[in-house]
Amino acid sequence: MRTILFFSLTLLILSNCTEKKTLKILNRGEEVNGKMVYEKIRDFSFTNQDSIEVTNKTFGGKIYVSNNFFTTCPSICPTTSLHMGRIYDRFLNDDRVGMISHSIDVRTDSVPVLKTYANGLEIEAPKWNLVTGNEEEILAIAYDYFSNALKDETAPGGFDHDDLFVLIDKNRHIRSIAHGTDPKDVNRFMKDMEFLLKSEYSETK
Protein backbone atom coordinates (compact mmCIF):
# COMPACT_ATOMS: atom_id res chain seq x y z
CA MET A 1 0.00 0.00 0.00
CA ARG A 2 2.71 2.37 1.03
CA THR A 3 4.72 1.67 -2.15
CA ILE A 4 1.71 2.45 -4.29
CA LEU A 5 1.25 5.70 -2.50
CA PHE A 6 4.91 6.47 -2.93
CA PHE A 7 4.85 5.71 -6.64
CA SER A 8 1.75 7.71 -7.34
CA LEU A 9 3.27 10.60 -5.46
CA THR A 10 6.48 10.52 -7.48
CA LEU A 11 4.44 10.21 -10.65
CA LEU A 12 2.42 13.21 -9.65
CA ILE A 13 5.53 15.24 -8.94
CA LEU A 14 7.18 14.10 -12.19
CA SER A 15 4.15 14.87 -14.30
CA ASN A 16 4.05 18.28 -12.68
CA CYS A 17 7.67 18.86 -13.55
CA THR A 18 7.30 17.87 -17.15
CA GLU A 19 4.26 20.04 -17.75
CA LYS A 20 5.19 22.34 -20.62
CA LYS A 21 5.46 26.07 -20.04
CA THR A 22 3.26 28.14 -22.31
CA LEU A 23 2.65 31.84 -22.65
CA LYS A 24 -0.99 32.33 -23.46
CA ILE A 25 -2.24 35.22 -25.52
CA LEU A 26 -3.65 37.54 -22.90
CA ASN A 27 -5.85 39.63 -25.17
CA ARG A 28 -9.57 39.11 -25.36
CA GLY A 29 -10.42 36.61 -28.09
CA GLU A 30 -13.42 35.04 -29.76
CA GLU A 31 -13.97 32.11 -32.04
CA VAL A 32 -14.61 32.99 -35.66
CA ASN A 33 -15.20 30.11 -38.09
CA GLY A 34 -13.56 27.70 -35.70
CA LYS A 35 -10.47 29.84 -35.25
CA MET A 36 -9.59 32.04 -32.30
CA VAL A 37 -9.26 35.72 -33.17
CA TYR A 38 -7.72 38.01 -30.60
CA GLU A 39 -7.72 41.76 -30.12
CA LYS A 40 -4.34 43.29 -30.86
CA ILE A 41 -2.28 46.45 -30.55
CA ARG A 42 -3.67 49.11 -32.89
CA ASP A 43 -1.67 50.93 -35.61
CA PHE A 44 0.49 53.68 -34.19
CA SER A 45 3.03 56.25 -35.26
CA PHE A 46 5.19 58.10 -32.75
CA THR A 47 8.54 59.92 -32.76
CA ASN A 48 11.61 58.75 -30.85
CA GLN A 49 14.54 60.54 -29.19
CA ASP A 50 16.37 60.73 -32.54
CA SER A 51 13.35 62.30 -34.30
CA ILE A 52 12.76 59.04 -36.13
CA GLU A 53 9.27 57.71 -36.69
CA VAL A 54 8.40 54.58 -34.73
CA THR A 55 5.48 52.47 -35.96
CA ASN A 56 4.29 48.88 -35.73
CA LYS A 57 6.66 48.18 -38.63
CA THR A 58 9.62 49.19 -36.44
CA PHE A 59 8.84 46.04 -34.46
CA GLY A 60 7.95 43.88 -37.49
CA GLY A 61 9.23 40.33 -36.97
CA LYS A 62 10.31 41.22 -33.44
CA ILE A 63 8.97 40.82 -29.96
CA TYR A 64 8.97 44.04 -27.96
CA VAL A 65 8.50 45.48 -24.50
CA SER A 66 6.31 48.51 -23.88
CA ASN A 67 5.78 50.80 -20.89
CA ASN A 68 4.77 54.36 -19.99
CA PHE A 69 6.80 57.04 -18.22
CA PHE A 70 7.64 60.74 -18.26
CA THR A 71 11.00 62.37 -17.67
CA THR A 72 9.94 64.51 -14.69
CA CYS A 73 7.99 61.75 -12.94
CA PRO A 74 9.22 61.67 -9.34
CA SER A 75 7.49 58.56 -8.07
CA ILE A 76 7.85 55.25 -9.88
CA CYS A 77 9.61 56.13 -13.14
CA PRO A 78 13.23 56.08 -11.96
CA THR A 79 12.61 52.55 -10.70
CA THR A 80 10.86 51.38 -13.86
CA SER A 81 13.62 52.98 -15.97
CA LEU A 82 16.20 51.12 -13.91
CA HIS A 83 14.52 47.81 -14.62
CA MET A 84 13.84 48.60 -18.28
CA GLY A 85 17.59 49.27 -18.31
CA ARG A 86 18.23 45.73 -17.09
CA ILE A 87 16.12 44.38 -19.96
CA TYR A 88 18.03 46.66 -22.35
CA ASP A 89 21.40 45.38 -21.15
CA ARG A 90 20.31 41.77 -21.31
CA PHE A 91 18.90 41.89 -24.86
CA LEU A 92 21.13 44.62 -26.29
CA ASN A 93 22.68 42.38 -28.92
CA ASP A 94 19.54 40.43 -29.77
CA ASP A 95 17.93 42.11 -32.78
CA ARG A 96 14.76 40.11 -32.32
CA VAL A 97 13.92 42.28 -29.30
CA GLY A 98 12.73 45.90 -29.36
CA MET A 99 11.70 48.34 -26.62
CA ILE A 100 9.36 51.33 -26.50
CA SER A 101 8.64 53.73 -23.63
CA HIS A 102 5.81 56.18 -24.23
CA SER A 103 6.11 59.56 -22.56
CA ILE A 104 2.65 60.46 -21.36
CA ASP A 105 3.66 64.07 -20.73
CA VAL A 106 4.00 65.09 -24.38
CA ARG A 107 4.04 68.80 -23.57
CA THR A 108 7.20 68.64 -21.47
CA ASP A 109 8.89 65.72 -23.16
CA SER A 110 9.89 67.09 -26.54
CA VAL A 111 12.39 65.20 -28.68
CA PRO A 112 15.42 67.04 -27.22
CA VAL A 113 14.19 66.37 -23.67
CA LEU A 114 13.84 62.68 -24.51
CA LYS A 115 17.31 62.72 -26.05
CA THR A 116 18.82 64.14 -22.86
CA TYR A 117 17.00 61.54 -20.78
CA ALA A 118 18.21 58.76 -23.10
CA ASN A 119 21.77 60.02 -22.77
CA GLY A 120 21.38 60.05 -19.01
CA LEU A 121 20.09 56.49 -19.07
CA GLU A 122 23.00 55.60 -21.35
CA ILE A 123 20.71 53.95 -23.89
CA GLU A 124 20.17 54.24 -27.63
CA ALA A 125 17.52 53.88 -30.30
CA PRO A 126 16.63 51.84 -32.27
CA LYS A 127 16.96 49.28 -29.48
CA TRP A 128 15.05 51.37 -26.93
CA ASN A 129 12.73 54.04 -28.27
CA LEU A 130 11.60 56.82 -25.96
CA VAL A 131 8.65 58.23 -27.86
CA THR A 132 6.41 61.25 -27.91
CA GLY A 133 3.52 62.02 -30.20
CA ASN A 134 -0.10 63.04 -30.34
CA GLU A 135 -1.29 63.23 -26.75
CA GLU A 136 -4.63 61.53 -27.35
CA GLU A 137 -3.00 58.71 -29.29
CA ILE A 138 -0.44 58.11 -26.56
CA LEU A 139 -3.02 58.06 -23.78
CA ALA A 140 -5.34 55.88 -25.89
CA ILE A 141 -2.80 53.24 -26.86
CA ALA A 142 -2.08 52.63 -23.16
CA TYR A 143 -5.46 50.89 -23.16
CA ASP A 144 -4.24 48.36 -25.73
CA TYR A 145 -1.27 47.60 -23.48
CA PHE A 146 -3.63 46.97 -20.52
CA SER A 147 -2.08 50.05 -18.90
CA ASN A 148 -3.46 53.12 -17.23
CA ALA A 149 -2.39 56.58 -18.31
CA LEU A 150 -4.54 59.49 -17.25
CA LYS A 151 -4.06 63.16 -16.57
CA ASP A 152 -4.52 63.74 -12.86
CA GLU A 153 -3.61 67.01 -11.20
CA THR A 154 -3.46 65.31 -7.80
CA ALA A 155 -0.94 62.61 -8.80
CA PRO A 156 2.81 63.24 -8.35
CA GLY A 157 3.99 65.01 -11.50
CA GLY A 158 0.44 65.53 -12.82
CA PHE A 159 -0.16 62.12 -14.37
CA ASP A 160 -1.57 58.94 -12.99
CA HIS A 161 -0.05 55.84 -14.53
CA ASP A 162 1.03 52.36 -13.55
CA ASP A 163 4.32 50.50 -13.61
CA LEU A 164 3.41 47.77 -16.10
CA PHE A 165 5.88 46.24 -18.54
CA VAL A 166 4.08 44.50 -21.38
CA LEU A 167 5.54 41.89 -23.74
CA ILE A 168 4.19 41.89 -27.30
CA ASP A 169 4.73 39.07 -29.77
CA LYS A 170 5.26 39.24 -33.53
CA ASN A 171 1.50 39.28 -34.09
CA ARG A 172 0.84 42.30 -31.84
CA HIS A 173 -0.56 40.13 -29.05
CA ILE A 174 0.24 40.53 -25.37
CA ARG A 175 2.02 37.51 -23.91
CA SER A 176 3.36 38.62 -20.54
CA ILE A 177 2.98 41.45 -18.04
CA ALA A 178 5.12 42.52 -15.10
CA HIS A 179 5.19 45.18 -12.42
CA GLY A 180 8.20 47.26 -13.42
CA THR A 181 8.86 48.35 -9.85
CA ASP A 182 9.23 44.77 -8.61
CA PRO A 183 12.70 43.37 -9.36
CA LYS A 184 11.62 39.74 -8.96
CA ASP A 185 8.64 40.18 -11.23
CA VAL A 186 10.95 41.72 -13.83
CA ASN A 187 13.26 38.68 -13.53
CA ARG A 188 10.30 36.43 -14.27
CA PHE A 189 9.35 38.71 -17.16
CA MET A 190 12.81 38.38 -18.70
CA LYS A 191 12.50 34.59 -18.48
CA ASP A 192 9.17 34.90 -20.30
CA MET A 193 10.94 36.95 -22.97
CA GLU A 194 13.52 34.22 -23.51
CA PHE A 195 10.82 31.61 -23.60
CA LEU A 196 8.83 33.60 -26.16
CA LEU A 197 11.92 34.07 -28.31
CA LYS A 198 12.50 30.35 -28.33
CA SER A 199 8.91 29.45 -29.15
CA GLU A 200 8.24 32.29 -31.61
CA TYR A 201 11.34 31.66 -33.63
CA SER A 202 11.03 27.90 -33.83
CA GLU A 203 7.36 28.00 -34.93
CA THR A 204 8.27 29.71 -38.16
CA LYS A 205 10.84 27.16 -39.22
Partner 1 sequence: MRRYLFFFGLILFTIFTWTDCSNSYSDGKYLYEIHCQSCHMPDGIGLKGLIPPLAGSDYLKKNYDKLPCVILLGIEGEIVVNGKTYNQPMAGIPELETMDIALLINYINHQWGNDGKYTDFREVEANLQKCE
Q: How far is the CB of 192 from partner 1 (least distance, A)?
A: 24
Nearer to partner 1 among residue 48 and residue 80 (C-beta): 80
Nearer to partner 1 among residue 8 and residue 187 (C-beta): 187
Own/partner pairs, 121-128, CB within 8 angstroms, 24+ separation:
121/81, 121/85, 123/85, 123/88, 125/48, 125/49, 125/50, 125/52, 126/48, 126/52, 126/58, 126/98, 127/88, 127/91, 127/92, 127/97, 127/98, 127/99, 128/84, 128/88, 128/99, 128/100, 128/101
Q: How far is the CB of 95 from partner 1 (least distance, A)?
A: 23
Q: How far is the CB of 78 from partner 1 (least distance, A)?
A: 5
Nearer to partner 1 among residue 49 and residue 81 (C-beta): 81
Interacting residues with partner 1 (CB under 8 A): 74-76, 78-79, 81-82, 85, 117, 119-122
| Bridge partner list, 103 | 69
Nearer to partner 1 among residue 121 and residue 168 (C-beta): 121
Q: How far is the CB of 50 from partner 1 (least distance, A)?
A: 18
